[in-house]
Amino acid sequence: MRKLIQTILLAFFLCLLVLPVVSKDKPKNIMLLFDLKDYNKEIESTVDHFFNKVIGSGDQLIVMTPAGKIFSYSSKTISASPQKIISEIKDALKKHTSVTSSDYQNIYNQMLSIVNDIRDGSGLEDTKNLIAAYENNRKELRMTRRINEAMLLQFSDVFERSRKITGDTDNQIYLFFQKEVRPIPDKNIMNNIRENPQLSFDAARVFFEEKTEPDFNVDKIAEEFKSAGVTFNFVYITPKDLPTQRYQLVDNSGDFYSAMSVIADRTGGKVVTTTQPQEIFKD
């Protein structure tokens, strides 16, 4: 199925780029990639701002939703019916985010249940088992990410091939990724765990130690994008302050942020950490 999706994506993009474009400026081929956990008014405002202030009459657009659904729009289509396209993209993002975010939410809820069980008091062996289960949940949480190395390399290949057909174009990718958060025990509970030598090491590693090994070959991806003339931009969408009771929230996606930030820097793109993703389009 994955190979089929990639083949369809390539066909869509190549068909899109062979369409003639007329523009005073260098035409842009733009990809908007969305990996979202929550569809909200800020996402809607970003779509509106993009069509009102960013995309031009000679530009062409590809949008990938959180479910991996591809929408392609030629410059002719964009000029003829922008409001219809805006509505279509918003509806797709809302629908697909609702479907795909369920995996993330289910794992988050499992982690919260573990934190509550630890807080409510468990025996030594039970607490060890809970910490081990939480560690597995951390791995599962990372697996819910929709963007992977193979996908990004596929996109670079698409842009590289398109240059041979369309010539000199301004190729841009914008990745909108909502930060992963996870619950951990509150400070009082963690202090109690640290006082137990049979729990302290594993608890500190599982609850606090950040994953440093990236799941991406950032050097390869950056070089492939540069070779294809792609500017990669990364939007790290942070949630607004969430109310918590008797637990803490920590970042679970620092490794992803680091990898995407390096790729953006090496391709001349921008990195924005914000609750309002439309800021990526501002000078």
Tens digits of per-residue pLDDT, 187-199?
988 888 888 899 9
Residue 271 resides in a domain: no
Task: Confirm whether 253 is domain-assigned.
Answer: no
Contact by Cβ (8 Å): 263, 226? no
Report pLDDT for 144: 92
What does the pLDDT profile of the chain (283 residues) look like in tens digits?
455 345 445 545 554 544 444 445 677 899 999 999 999 999 999 999 999 999 988 888 999 999 999 998 988 888 888 999 999 999 999 999 999 999 999 999 999 999 999 988 777 888 999 999 999 999 999 999 999 999 999 998 888 877 777 667 789 999 999 999 999 999 988 888 888 899 989 999 999 888 777 789 999 999 999 999 999 999 999 987 766 678 889 999 999 999 999 999 999 999 999 999 999 998 7
Which are the contacts of 100, defined by CB distance < 8 A and separation ≥ 6? 36, 66, 67, 144, 146
Q: Residue 74 sits in which domain range?
A: 29-52+61-248
Is residue 16 situated within a structural domain?
no
Helices (H), the chain: 2-17, 41-49, 75-80, 82-120, 124-143, 149-166, 187-194, 200-208, 218-227, 254-266
Domain membership of residue 224 (yes or no) is yes
Q: What pLDDT is stored for residue 121 in this prediction? A: 76
pLDDT of residue 25: 64
pLDDT tens column, 116-164: 999 887 778 889 999 999 999 999 999 999 999 999 999 988 888 777 7
Assess if residue 148 is contained within a domain: yes
In a domain, 104, yes or no: yes
149/178 Cα distance (integer angstroms) = 18
pTM: 0.89
What's the residue count for the chain? 283
Q: Are 163 and 225 in contact (CB under 8 A)?
A: no
Q: What DSSP assignment string belongs to 141-155?
A: HHHT----HHHHHHH
Tokens of 57: 């009459």
Question: Would residue 274 count as lying in a domain?
Answer: no
Domain contains 118: yes
The number of domains in the chain is: 1
